[in-house]
Amino acid sequence: MRICAFCNKTDEDSDPDDVLLYGEWMTKLNVTVHYFCLLLSTNLVQRGGDSGGILGFLLRDIRKEVKDAQLRKCVFCIKPGASLECHNCHMYFHLGCGLDNRCVNYFCDDYRSYCEKCAPRDEYQRQLLATSMSIKNVRCDICFRKINLFMLSKVVYGDCCRKGFAHKNCMRRYAIASGYYLRCLWCRDAKFHDTIKLQSVYVPDRDASWERQKNAYSELHKKIMRCDQPECLCPHGRDYNRHRWSIQLCVLCAAYGAHFKCRSDGAVDLKCEFCQQVEAKLKNAQASKEKETTNDQIDTSAALSKKSGESSTLVSDDDVLVPTDEDVSSNEASIVTVVASQRAPIEPAAVEAAATVDSVEDAANIEESSVIELPDSQQITLILPQPPLLLCKSFTHAEHFYLQVFDYQEEHAERCMGTWTLRFTLDDPRLQDRSEQALQQLQPTKQDIWTHDKNRGIYDKIDQYTK
Protein backbone atom coordinates (compact mmCIF):
# COMPACT_ATOMS: atom_id res chain seq x y z
CA MET A 1 0.00 0.00 0.00
CA ARG A 2 1.29 3.45 -0.93
CA ILE A 3 0.63 6.61 1.11
CA CYS A 4 1.29 10.12 -0.20
CA ALA A 5 3.57 12.00 2.19
CA PHE A 6 1.67 15.25 1.55
CA CYS A 7 -2.06 14.50 1.31
CA ASN A 8 -1.99 11.14 3.19
CA LYS A 9 -4.15 9.56 0.48
CA THR A 10 -3.59 5.82 -0.11
CA ASP A 11 -3.90 3.72 -3.25
CA GLU A 12 -6.41 1.35 -1.63
CA ASP A 13 -9.86 1.58 -3.20
CA SER A 14 -8.50 4.28 -5.48
CA ASP A 15 -10.71 5.64 -8.24
CA PRO A 16 -9.56 5.30 -11.88
CA ASP A 17 -9.81 9.09 -12.19
CA ASP A 18 -7.35 9.69 -9.33
CA VAL A 19 -4.47 9.90 -11.79
CA LEU A 20 -6.30 12.82 -13.43
CA LEU A 21 -6.75 14.64 -10.11
CA TYR A 22 -3.52 13.84 -8.23
CA GLY A 23 -1.12 12.77 -10.96
CA GLU A 24 1.01 9.64 -11.06
CA TRP A 25 2.57 8.02 -8.00
CA MET A 26 6.26 8.87 -7.53
CA THR A 27 8.51 6.77 -5.26
CA LYS A 28 12.24 7.11 -4.55
CA LEU A 29 14.20 6.05 -1.44
CA ASN A 30 11.11 5.55 0.72
CA VAL A 31 9.62 8.90 -0.35
CA THR A 32 6.21 8.36 -1.96
CA VAL A 33 4.13 11.30 -3.23
CA HIS A 34 1.63 12.27 -5.90
CA TYR A 35 3.20 14.23 -8.74
CA PHE A 36 0.62 17.04 -8.50
CA CYS A 37 1.26 17.32 -4.73
CA LEU A 38 4.89 18.05 -5.61
CA LEU A 39 4.09 20.59 -8.33
CA LEU A 40 1.42 22.49 -6.40
CA SER A 41 3.12 22.61 -2.97
CA THR A 42 3.60 26.34 -2.52
CA ASN A 43 6.85 26.30 -0.51
CA LEU A 44 8.55 23.45 -2.39
CA VAL A 45 11.17 24.70 -4.84
CA GLN A 46 12.44 22.67 -7.80
CA ARG A 47 16.22 23.01 -7.51
CA GLY A 48 17.49 19.90 -9.28
CA GLY A 49 17.74 18.72 -12.85
CA ASP A 50 15.36 16.32 -14.55
CA SER A 51 17.30 13.35 -13.17
CA GLY A 52 17.82 14.80 -9.69
CA GLY A 53 15.55 13.60 -6.90
CA ILE A 54 11.99 13.15 -8.16
CA LEU A 55 11.74 15.00 -11.49
CA GLY A 56 13.86 17.90 -10.24
CA PHE A 57 12.55 18.04 -6.66
CA LEU A 58 15.43 17.09 -4.36
CA LEU A 59 14.64 14.49 -1.68
CA ARG A 60 15.92 16.67 1.16
CA ASP A 61 13.64 19.51 0.04
CA ILE A 62 10.67 17.13 -0.13
CA ARG A 63 11.34 15.76 3.36
CA LYS A 64 11.72 19.30 4.75
CA GLU A 65 8.42 20.45 3.20
CA VAL A 66 6.60 17.34 4.47
CA LYS A 67 7.91 18.11 7.96
CA ASP A 68 6.89 21.77 7.75
CA ALA A 69 3.44 20.83 6.37
CA GLN A 70 2.73 18.82 9.53
CA LEU A 71 2.74 22.12 11.42
CA ARG A 72 0.02 23.59 9.17
CA LYS A 73 -3.65 22.62 9.40
CA CYS A 74 -5.96 22.42 6.42
CA VAL A 75 -8.63 25.13 6.49
CA PHE A 76 -11.23 22.64 5.25
CA CYS A 77 -10.58 19.37 7.15
CA ILE A 78 -8.62 20.88 10.10
CA LYS A 79 -6.00 18.12 9.75
CA PRO A 80 -2.21 18.68 9.55
CA GLY A 81 -0.17 18.26 6.39
CA ALA A 82 -1.54 21.15 4.27
CA SER A 83 0.98 22.19 1.60
CA LEU A 84 -1.07 24.33 -0.83
CA GLU A 85 -1.45 28.03 0.01
CA CYS A 86 -4.02 30.43 -1.46
CA HIS A 87 -2.10 33.14 -3.30
CA ASN A 88 -4.35 35.91 -1.93
CA CYS A 89 -5.67 35.01 1.54
CA HIS A 90 -2.74 32.66 2.41
CA MET A 91 -4.95 29.87 3.76
CA TYR A 92 -3.45 26.37 3.57
CA PHE A 93 -5.27 23.24 2.39
CA HIS A 94 -4.64 19.74 1.06
CA LEU A 95 -4.82 19.09 -2.68
CA GLY A 96 -7.78 16.73 -2.25
CA CYS A 97 -9.62 19.17 0.03
CA GLY A 98 -9.05 21.92 -2.52
CA LEU A 99 -10.58 19.79 -5.27
CA ASP A 100 -13.63 19.07 -3.12
CA ASN A 101 -14.08 22.76 -2.26
CA ARG A 102 -13.79 24.23 -5.79
CA CYS A 103 -10.28 25.67 -5.46
CA VAL A 104 -8.34 26.64 -8.60
CA ASN A 105 -4.83 25.41 -9.48
CA TYR A 106 -2.60 26.96 -12.14
CA PHE A 107 -0.45 24.32 -13.87
CA CYS A 108 2.01 26.87 -15.25
CA ASP A 109 4.64 29.40 -14.15
CA ASP A 110 4.86 29.21 -10.32
CA TYR A 111 1.97 26.68 -9.99
CA ARG A 112 -0.01 28.89 -7.64
CA SER A 113 -3.40 28.01 -6.13
CA TYR A 114 -6.49 29.99 -5.15
CA CYS A 115 -9.44 29.25 -2.91
CA GLU A 116 -12.90 29.65 -4.43
CA LYS A 117 -13.39 33.19 -3.08
CA CYS A 118 -10.00 34.51 -4.20
CA ALA A 119 -9.83 32.90 -7.67
CA PRO A 120 -9.42 35.56 -10.42
CA ARG A 121 -12.48 35.78 -12.69
CA ASP A 122 -12.79 37.56 -16.01
CA GLU A 123 -16.02 39.02 -17.36
CA TYR A 124 -17.01 35.81 -19.14
CA GLN A 125 -16.47 33.69 -16.03
CA ARG A 126 -18.49 36.10 -13.87
CA GLN A 127 -21.29 35.89 -16.41
CA LEU A 128 -21.21 32.07 -16.27
CA LEU A 129 -21.27 32.13 -12.47
CA ALA A 130 -24.28 34.45 -12.46
CA THR A 131 -26.26 32.30 -14.91
CA SER A 132 -24.97 28.84 -13.95
CA MET A 133 -28.29 27.76 -12.40
CA SER A 134 -30.20 28.64 -15.58
CA ILE A 135 -27.79 26.91 -17.99
CA LYS A 136 -29.40 23.63 -19.00
CA ASN A 137 -29.29 21.08 -21.84
CA VAL A 138 -25.52 21.57 -22.27
CA ARG A 139 -23.55 18.56 -23.46
CA CYS A 140 -19.89 17.75 -23.06
CA ASP A 141 -18.24 17.94 -26.48
CA ILE A 142 -15.85 15.10 -25.58
CA CYS A 143 -18.08 12.38 -24.10
CA PHE A 144 -21.35 13.85 -25.52
CA ARG A 145 -23.10 13.31 -22.20
CA LYS A 146 -25.26 15.92 -20.56
CA ILE A 147 -23.62 18.24 -18.02
CA ASN A 148 -26.05 17.80 -15.15
CA LEU A 149 -24.56 20.35 -12.73
CA PHE A 150 -23.03 23.35 -14.50
CA MET A 151 -20.25 24.70 -12.26
CA LEU A 152 -16.94 26.30 -13.23
CA SER A 153 -15.18 23.81 -10.97
CA LYS A 154 -16.63 20.93 -12.99
CA VAL A 155 -16.51 22.23 -16.58
CA VAL A 156 -13.95 23.85 -18.88
CA TYR A 157 -14.23 25.91 -22.05
CA GLY A 158 -11.98 27.23 -24.79
CA ASP A 159 -11.01 30.79 -23.89
CA CYS A 160 -9.90 31.31 -27.50
CA CYS A 161 -13.36 30.88 -29.04
CA ARG A 162 -15.86 30.11 -26.22
CA LYS A 163 -17.90 27.86 -28.49
CA GLY A 164 -18.63 24.98 -26.12
CA PHE A 165 -18.05 23.20 -22.82
CA ALA A 166 -16.62 19.90 -21.59
CA HIS A 167 -16.37 18.00 -18.32
CA LYS A 168 -13.15 18.93 -16.53
CA ASN A 169 -12.16 15.28 -16.10
CA CYS A 170 -12.82 14.62 -19.80
CA MET A 171 -10.53 17.52 -20.69
CA ARG A 172 -7.88 16.30 -18.23
CA ARG A 173 -7.91 12.88 -19.88
CA TYR A 174 -7.71 14.46 -23.35
CA ALA A 175 -4.82 16.74 -22.28
CA ILE A 176 -2.77 13.92 -20.73
CA ALA A 177 -3.19 11.84 -23.88
CA SER A 178 -2.39 14.70 -26.30
CA GLY A 179 0.64 16.33 -24.67
CA TYR A 180 2.37 18.61 -27.20
CA TYR A 181 -0.46 18.13 -29.69
CA LEU A 182 -3.24 19.54 -27.49
CA ARG A 183 -5.44 21.91 -29.48
CA CYS A 184 -8.78 23.58 -28.89
CA LEU A 185 -11.67 21.18 -29.48
CA TRP A 186 -13.80 23.84 -31.08
CA CYS A 187 -11.47 26.04 -33.15
CA ARG A 188 -8.14 24.11 -33.20
CA ASP A 189 -6.25 27.12 -31.80
CA ALA A 190 -2.76 26.25 -30.54
CA LYS A 191 -2.98 28.86 -27.74
CA PHE A 192 -5.47 26.57 -26.03
CA HIS A 193 -2.46 24.46 -24.97
CA ASP A 194 -1.40 27.26 -22.58
CA THR A 195 -4.72 28.85 -21.57
CA ILE A 196 -6.34 25.58 -20.43
CA LYS A 197 -3.66 25.27 -17.72
CA LEU A 198 -5.38 28.15 -15.89
CA GLN A 199 -8.51 26.00 -15.48
CA SER A 200 -6.90 23.34 -13.24
CA VAL A 201 -5.96 21.10 -16.18
CA TYR A 202 -2.47 19.56 -16.31
CA VAL A 203 -0.86 19.33 -19.76
CA PRO A 204 2.26 17.09 -19.81
CA ASP A 205 5.36 18.30 -21.61
CA ARG A 206 5.78 15.19 -23.78
CA ASP A 207 4.62 13.46 -26.94
CA ALA A 208 1.06 12.21 -27.31
CA SER A 209 0.24 8.77 -25.95
CA TRP A 210 -0.32 7.35 -29.44
CA GLU A 211 3.22 8.43 -30.39
CA ARG A 212 4.77 6.64 -27.40
CA GLN A 213 3.13 3.24 -27.87
CA LYS A 214 5.47 0.39 -28.68
CA ASN A 215 5.47 -0.41 -32.41
CA ALA A 216 2.82 2.26 -32.92
CA TYR A 217 3.50 2.53 -36.66
CA SER A 218 4.77 -0.97 -37.36
CA GLU A 219 1.95 -1.64 -39.83
CA LEU A 220 3.34 1.09 -42.10
CA HIS A 221 6.44 -1.03 -42.69
CA LYS A 222 4.50 -4.12 -43.72
CA LYS A 223 4.03 -4.70 -47.42
CA ILE A 224 0.77 -6.46 -48.23
CA MET A 225 1.35 -8.94 -51.07
CA ARG A 226 -1.92 -10.35 -52.36
CA CYS A 227 -3.38 -11.12 -55.77
CA ASP A 228 -6.37 -8.81 -56.32
CA GLN A 229 -7.31 -10.04 -59.79
CA PRO A 230 -11.00 -11.00 -60.20
CA GLU A 231 -9.90 -14.56 -61.03
CA CYS A 232 -6.73 -15.81 -59.37
CA LEU A 233 -5.21 -18.81 -61.18
CA CYS A 234 -2.68 -19.71 -58.50
CA PRO A 235 -3.42 -23.20 -57.06
CA HIS A 236 -1.94 -22.14 -53.70
CA GLY A 237 -4.24 -19.17 -53.18
CA ARG A 238 -4.10 -15.40 -53.51
CA ASP A 239 -1.45 -14.91 -50.81
CA TYR A 240 1.10 -17.27 -52.36
CA ASN A 241 4.19 -15.32 -53.48
CA ARG A 242 6.98 -17.68 -54.53
CA HIS A 243 8.86 -18.81 -57.60
CA ARG A 244 6.70 -18.69 -60.72
CA TRP A 245 3.76 -17.33 -58.73
CA SER A 246 5.42 -14.09 -57.62
CA ILE A 247 3.15 -11.14 -56.96
CA GLN A 248 3.69 -7.74 -58.55
CA LEU A 249 2.34 -4.51 -57.06
CA CYS A 250 0.97 -1.53 -58.96
CA VAL A 251 3.89 0.78 -59.80
CA LEU A 252 1.74 3.86 -59.04
CA CYS A 253 -0.22 3.09 -55.86
CA ALA A 254 1.33 -0.18 -54.59
CA ALA A 255 -2.09 -1.04 -53.16
CA TYR A 256 -3.11 -3.46 -55.90
CA GLY A 257 -1.26 -6.71 -56.57
CA ALA A 258 -1.49 -9.60 -59.00
CA HIS A 259 0.34 -12.77 -59.98
CA PHE A 260 2.08 -12.34 -63.32
CA LYS A 261 0.32 -15.43 -64.67
CA CYS A 262 -3.07 -14.10 -63.56
CA ARG A 263 -2.70 -11.04 -65.79
CA SER A 264 -3.73 -11.01 -69.41
CA ASP A 265 -1.93 -7.85 -70.61
CA GLY A 266 1.59 -9.29 -70.36
CA ALA A 267 3.11 -5.89 -69.50
CA VAL A 268 6.32 -5.76 -67.50
CA ASP A 269 4.99 -3.15 -65.05
CA LEU A 270 1.61 -3.51 -63.41
CA LYS A 271 -0.82 -0.59 -63.37
CA CYS A 272 -4.17 -1.21 -61.75
CA GLU A 273 -7.37 -0.19 -63.51
CA PHE A 274 -8.06 2.68 -61.13
CA CYS A 275 -4.59 4.20 -61.60
CA GLN A 276 -4.92 3.87 -65.37
CA GLN A 277 -8.17 5.83 -65.29
CA VAL A 278 -6.65 8.55 -63.12
CA GLU A 279 -3.57 8.75 -65.35
CA ALA A 280 -5.73 9.06 -68.47
CA LYS A 281 -7.80 11.85 -66.91
CA LEU A 282 -4.67 13.76 -65.91
CA LYS A 283 -3.25 13.50 -69.44
CA ASN A 284 -6.52 14.69 -71.00
CA ALA A 285 -6.75 17.59 -68.57
CA GLN A 286 -3.15 18.60 -69.25
CA ALA A 287 -3.65 18.41 -73.02
CA SER A 288 -6.79 20.56 -72.94
CA LYS A 289 -5.04 23.08 -70.68
CA GLU A 290 -2.08 23.37 -73.06
CA LYS A 291 -4.46 23.82 -75.99
CA GLU A 292 -6.23 26.69 -74.26
CA THR A 293 -3.03 28.48 -73.27
CA THR A 294 -1.45 28.28 -76.75
CA ASN A 295 -4.40 29.97 -78.50
CA ASP A 296 -3.84 33.65 -79.41
CA GLN A 297 -0.47 33.84 -77.67
CA ILE A 298 2.77 35.25 -79.07
CA ASP A 299 6.13 33.96 -77.91
CA THR A 300 8.02 37.03 -76.62
CA SER A 301 11.21 35.20 -75.65
CA ALA A 302 12.94 36.22 -78.93
CA ALA A 303 11.80 39.86 -78.92
CA LEU A 304 14.44 42.57 -79.67
CA SER A 305 14.26 46.33 -79.16
CA LYS A 306 14.53 48.54 -82.27
CA LYS A 307 16.17 51.94 -82.22
CA SER A 308 14.84 54.69 -84.49
CA GLY A 309 16.51 57.83 -85.67
CA GLU A 310 13.94 60.04 -84.03
CA SER A 311 13.88 60.53 -80.30
CA SER A 312 11.37 58.18 -78.81
CA THR A 313 10.24 57.29 -75.35
CA LEU A 314 8.89 54.03 -74.05
CA VAL A 315 5.19 54.07 -73.34
CA SER A 316 3.81 51.82 -70.64
CA ASP A 317 0.70 49.77 -71.11
CA ASP A 318 -1.13 52.06 -68.72
CA ASP A 319 -0.64 55.03 -71.09
CA VAL A 320 -2.41 53.31 -74.02
CA LEU A 321 -5.87 54.81 -74.02
CA VAL A 322 -7.57 53.40 -77.12
CA PRO A 323 -7.57 49.66 -77.91
CA THR A 324 -6.61 48.66 -81.47
CA ASP A 325 -6.30 45.46 -83.45
CA GLU A 326 -2.65 45.18 -82.37
CA ASP A 327 -3.59 44.90 -78.71
CA VAL A 328 -4.77 41.82 -76.90
CA SER A 329 -8.26 40.57 -77.61
CA SER A 330 -9.65 42.15 -74.45
CA ASN A 331 -12.19 44.84 -75.30
CA GLU A 332 -11.60 46.80 -72.07
CA ALA A 333 -9.54 50.02 -72.32
CA SER A 334 -7.70 51.56 -69.40
CA ILE A 335 -9.78 54.75 -69.64
CA VAL A 336 -12.91 53.01 -68.39
CA THR A 337 -13.43 52.77 -64.64
CA VAL A 338 -15.04 49.45 -63.69
CA VAL A 339 -17.17 49.53 -60.54
CA ALA A 340 -18.73 46.18 -59.69
CA SER A 341 -21.49 47.64 -57.53
CA GLN A 342 -22.62 50.20 -60.12
CA ARG A 343 -25.96 49.40 -61.81
CA ALA A 344 -26.18 52.21 -64.41
CA PRO A 345 -26.20 50.98 -68.08
CA ILE A 346 -23.63 52.16 -70.63
CA GLU A 347 -24.76 55.24 -72.53
CA PRO A 348 -23.95 55.41 -76.28
CA ALA A 349 -22.54 58.92 -75.90
CA ALA A 350 -19.97 57.70 -73.40
CA VAL A 351 -18.80 54.94 -75.73
CA GLU A 352 -18.33 57.40 -78.60
CA ALA A 353 -16.38 59.72 -76.33
CA ALA A 354 -14.09 56.88 -75.30
CA ALA A 355 -13.34 56.05 -78.95
CA THR A 356 -12.17 59.60 -79.79
CA VAL A 357 -9.80 60.18 -76.88
CA ASP A 358 -6.29 61.19 -78.06
CA SER A 359 -4.50 62.07 -74.81
CA VAL A 360 -4.44 61.49 -71.10
CA GLU A 361 -6.01 64.93 -70.54
CA ASP A 362 -9.08 63.93 -72.55
CA ALA A 363 -9.40 60.73 -70.51
CA ALA A 364 -9.83 62.76 -67.34
CA ASN A 365 -13.03 64.28 -68.79
CA ILE A 366 -14.90 60.99 -69.05
CA GLU A 367 -18.11 61.20 -67.10
CA GLU A 368 -19.48 58.71 -64.61
CA SER A 369 -21.90 57.51 -67.29
CA SER A 370 -19.05 55.50 -68.84
CA VAL A 371 -19.01 53.05 -65.96
CA ILE A 372 -19.39 49.44 -67.15
CA GLU A 373 -21.81 47.21 -65.33
CA LEU A 374 -20.40 43.83 -64.37
CA PRO A 375 -22.83 40.91 -64.34
CA ASP A 376 -23.51 39.28 -61.02
CA SER A 377 -21.64 36.12 -60.18
CA GLN A 378 -23.31 32.94 -61.27
CA GLN A 379 -25.46 31.47 -58.56
CA ILE A 380 -24.41 28.08 -57.25
CA THR A 381 -27.22 25.58 -57.63
CA LEU A 382 -28.00 23.89 -54.33
CA ILE A 383 -29.80 20.57 -54.63
CA LEU A 384 -31.78 20.21 -51.44
CA PRO A 385 -32.69 16.74 -50.16
CA GLN A 386 -36.28 15.87 -50.99
CA PRO A 387 -38.66 13.65 -49.03
CA PRO A 388 -38.73 10.83 -48.32
CA LEU A 389 -35.39 11.53 -46.59
CA LEU A 390 -32.86 8.76 -46.00
CA LEU A 391 -32.26 9.21 -42.28
CA CYS A 392 -28.81 8.65 -40.80
CA LYS A 393 -29.12 9.88 -37.20
CA SER A 394 -30.46 12.76 -35.11
CA PHE A 395 -29.55 14.44 -31.83
CA THR A 396 -30.19 17.57 -29.78
CA HIS A 397 -27.36 19.92 -28.80
CA ALA A 398 -27.73 23.24 -26.96
CA GLU A 399 -30.75 25.04 -28.45
CA HIS A 400 -30.94 23.13 -31.74
CA PHE A 401 -32.09 19.80 -33.14
CA TYR A 402 -29.72 18.20 -35.67
CA LEU A 403 -30.79 15.72 -38.34
CA GLN A 404 -28.31 13.88 -40.57
CA VAL A 405 -29.62 12.50 -43.88
CA PHE A 406 -27.89 10.85 -46.83
CA ASP A 407 -27.45 12.95 -49.99
CA TYR A 408 -29.04 10.49 -52.42
CA GLN A 409 -29.09 11.45 -56.12
CA GLU A 410 -30.40 8.80 -58.51
CA GLU A 411 -28.95 10.46 -61.61
CA HIS A 412 -25.41 10.11 -60.24
CA ALA A 413 -23.44 6.91 -60.72
CA GLU A 414 -22.69 6.48 -57.03
CA ARG A 415 -26.21 7.47 -55.98
CA CYS A 416 -25.17 8.50 -52.45
CA MET A 417 -22.99 11.64 -52.62
CA GLY A 418 -22.43 12.16 -48.89
CA THR A 419 -24.32 13.35 -45.83
CA TRP A 420 -26.37 16.49 -45.17
CA THR A 421 -26.57 17.86 -41.62
CA LEU A 422 -29.75 19.88 -41.06
CA ARG A 423 -30.15 22.17 -38.05
CA PHE A 424 -33.52 23.30 -36.65
CA THR A 425 -34.52 25.34 -33.64
CA LEU A 426 -36.24 23.37 -30.90
CA ASP A 427 -39.45 25.37 -31.34
CA ASP A 428 -39.68 24.71 -35.10
CA PRO A 429 -43.32 23.79 -35.83
CA ARG A 430 -42.15 21.10 -38.28
CA LEU A 431 -40.64 19.16 -35.37
CA GLN A 432 -43.79 18.66 -33.35
CA ASP A 433 -43.70 15.03 -34.42
CA ARG A 434 -40.17 13.57 -34.32
CA SER A 435 -41.09 10.03 -35.24
CA GLU A 436 -39.14 8.31 -38.00
CA GLN A 437 -42.06 8.52 -40.43
CA ALA A 438 -42.54 12.24 -39.79
CA LEU A 439 -38.83 13.06 -40.16
CA GLN A 440 -38.71 11.19 -43.47
CA GLN A 441 -41.41 13.49 -44.87
CA LEU A 442 -39.72 16.67 -43.61
CA GLN A 443 -39.21 19.35 -46.29
CA PRO A 444 -35.88 21.16 -45.61
CA THR A 445 -35.08 24.69 -46.79
CA LYS A 446 -31.81 26.48 -47.52
CA GLN A 447 -31.85 27.96 -44.01
CA ASP A 448 -31.91 24.44 -42.54
CA ILE A 449 -28.64 23.37 -44.22
CA TRP A 450 -25.82 23.28 -41.64
CA THR A 451 -23.03 21.20 -43.21
CA HIS A 452 -22.36 18.74 -46.01
CA ASP A 453 -19.56 16.17 -46.04
CA LYS A 454 -18.50 13.22 -48.17
CA ASN A 455 -19.09 10.59 -45.49
CA ARG A 456 -21.33 8.01 -47.18
CA GLY A 457 -21.68 5.78 -44.12
CA ILE A 458 -23.12 2.35 -44.87
CA TYR A 459 -23.11 3.06 -48.62
CA ASP A 460 -19.32 2.75 -48.72
CA LYS A 461 -19.62 -0.82 -47.42
CA ILE A 462 -22.48 -1.55 -49.85
CA ASP A 463 -20.38 -0.41 -52.82
CA GLN A 464 -17.51 -2.54 -51.52
CA TYR A 465 -19.52 -5.72 -52.00
CA THR A 466 -21.47 -4.73 -55.12
CA LYS A 467 -18.54 -3.65 -57.27
Overall fold of domain 123-212: Herpes Virus-1 (3.30.40)
Handedness of CA 186, 187, 190, 196 (dihedral sign): negative
pLDDT tens for 3-48 read 999 999 998 878 889 999 999 999 999 999 999 999 999 999 999 8
Buried b or exposed e, range 440-449, using 16+ CB within 10 angstroms: eebebeeebe
- Sheet order of strands, 449-453 included: 391-397, 400-408, 416-425, 449-453
pLDDT greater than 60 at residue 289 = yes
Domain coordinates in residue numbering, the chain: 18-114, 123-212, 237-274, 335-379, 391-466
Question: How large is the average pLDDT for residues 259-273?
Answer: 86
CA distances to 2, 4, 22 from 13, in Å: 12, 14, 15
- Same CATH fold, 123-212 and 18-114? yes
Helix (H) and strand (E) counts in the chain:
13, 14
pLDDT, position 318: 46
49-102 residue pLDDT tens: 888 899 999 999 999 999 999 999 999 999 999 999 999 999 999 999 999 999
H runs (alpha helix) in 295-359: 348-355
Query: Would you give the DSSP letter of residue 372?
Result: B
CATH superfamily, region 18-114:
Zinc/RING finger domain, C3HC4 (zinc finger) (3.30.40.10)
pLDDT score of 191 more than 70: yes
Q: How many CB atoms lie within 10 A of CB 313?
A: 5
pLDDT in tens, 110-166: 999 999 999 999 999 999 989 887 888 899 999 999 998 899 999 999 999 999 999
pTM of the model: 0.51
pLDDT at 364: 40
CA–CA separation, 341 and 343 (whole Å): 6
Q: What is the mean pLDDT of the chain?
A: 81
